[in-house]
Structure 1
């Protein structure tokens, strides 16, 4: 018997995740419905055998396993509780349905959604991902799963289509903690890479030599290197407006993720000075490399 599953949110990461799910659905005994506010990605998924639907409500009514990959906490909130004239998942979903939140969200919200789902006979778990667009395309993501063993087992056919590593984080909310820590470290690394490259350039040394050094000693990870070299290449060819259009949305997400991490640190009475510095400078890091004054 086929398992009815759904996927909501077909953006930069969600679309390749859903594509891998569609490609492997039949062999995994899954039947896939997909939804996004934009028609183009749904057409791509339809070409791979998925069924596009007109609203999230249709997924809520028919699917027992659902992945959600949207941008913000409020997007998840609207899907679960409804918005305007739209009914929410909590109102429509069949008892026992499982919703895996792939978005990077606030831990308190994640725990609340889990509790309130349980009160309705449903399951909401956190399943944030790491690996970026390239690994999403390859089906090589790492998923940090906040769920008990029973729900983890139920989700396995779906998650296996999109990932090669599922880390059992613990209870609902614990996957989110891992994701916030991961992103905190990643954005601090971006700031450090940007400042290191800026120091070398302003001292009149060829920045390619720094890349040789960090290649040899491993100080700069591949994501930070990809970020800083890609950004610098775009900056050389783009106007200020172009940089804002290209990198502004990524800066917005970085600020959101760092805000969540620092809010959690505040609840735990932890001081994260590097995290605070990264939050203060992350937009500058995305949009404006540190270049010599004569450039």
Structure 2
């Protein structure tokens, strides 16, 4: 049995490690620089470590869900200086395909394996083991890790060589961003026109406009719950990755540009760490309304 470790025990990492603890049949080691998150992980049944170095030295497969390209690059570089050659590294965050491909090349040169395996599904999917997982890297390495990924996701798909998983995630979050803006614009418009947003949601949620984004994010909006199950800041990173990749490909992304503009507006107004559904505030501000139920 492989020794499993996980770096990053926040909103997503906690849910994913909970499923590994319940389903793997072995110990799951974890590290996060925040003591409270390590304590929560330990209370859930994980083996919390006080130093990341101990996890690097102990584990055969190291999963990670970290917030930025820079942190991922620094962490993977550090792991390869400490861990045993042959260790498999699985990046489950949203990162630039170019960063991942450069790290993958270095990993092979040093005798390590690196998969890019970003996820979609947010906190609900992480907690429920129902994430969509998209993987890039060597097929044989993917097959080794796949049983563990299936403990965390309802679908686990091999997308192709290194960077393909990250590219799939970029495409996924381009669409999610557009859905969020469409939802915010439509519900603010309806409120301005005199409709009750809750009644509108009840009327259309089973129709052609229905989406997972609307199903999850409209109830949060109506209750004015902008606590982050998926932060705008993290989504903006994906949007910036999309713009970078588009530049390399020589293509234009007009709708994604609008998503970026509105996320940048949220940043400028101090709301970048709120939940994605808080993007409705852009339209509320523009139309002079507040999307909450009148009932």
TM, length-normalised to structure 1: 0.86
Q: Structure 1 residue 265 and structure 2 residue 264: aligned? A: no
Task: Specify the alignment match of 2:29 in structure 1.
Answer: 33
Q: Structure 1 residue 233 and structure 2 residue 223: aligned? A: yes
Q: Structure 1 residue 150 and structure 2 residue 140: aligned? A: yes
How far did residue 233 of structure 1 move?
Answer: 2.6
Separation in structure 1 between the aligned mates of residue 234 and residue 133 of structure 2, nearest angstrom: 19
Task: Specify the alignment match of 2:270 in structure 1.
Answer: none
Task: Specify the alignment match of 2:117 in structure 1.
Answer: 127
Task: Specify the alignment match of 1:84 in structure 2.
Answer: none
2:283 to 266, 285, 290: 290
Task: Specify the alignment match of 2:76 in structure 1.
Answer: 80
1:112 to 84, 94, 102: 102
State how 1:159-238 maps to structure 2 within 5 Å: 159-234=149-224
How far did residue 48 of structure 1 move?
Answer: 4.0
Separation in structure 1 between the aligned mates of residue 164 and residue 288 of structure 2, nearest angstrom: 45
Of 262-271 and 149-158, deviating more is: 149-158
Aligned residue-pair number? 276
Task: Specify the alignment match of 1:69 in structure 2.
Answer: 65
Task: Specify the alignment match of 1:7 in structure 2.
Answer: 6
1:280 to 255, 261, 282: 261
**RMSD of aligned alpha carbons:** 2.1
Task: Specify the alignment match of 1:21 in structure 2.
Answer: 20
Deviation by residue 1:157-181 (Cα, 9 ceiling, x = unmatched): 3212212211111111000010010
In 2, are the aligned partners of 1:186 and 1:224 still within 8 Å (CA)? no
Separation in structure 1 between the aligned mates of residue 52 and residue 197 of structure 2, nearest angstrom: 48
Separation in structure 1 between the aligned mates of residue 178 and residue 144 of structure 2, nearest angstrom: 36
Q: Structure 1 residue 101 and structure 2 residue 74: aligned? A: no
TM, length-normalised to structure 2: 0.86
Deviation by residue 1:171-201 (Cα, 9 ceiling, x = unmatched): 1100001001001100110000000111111
SS of the residue corresponding to residue 290 of structure 1 reads: helix
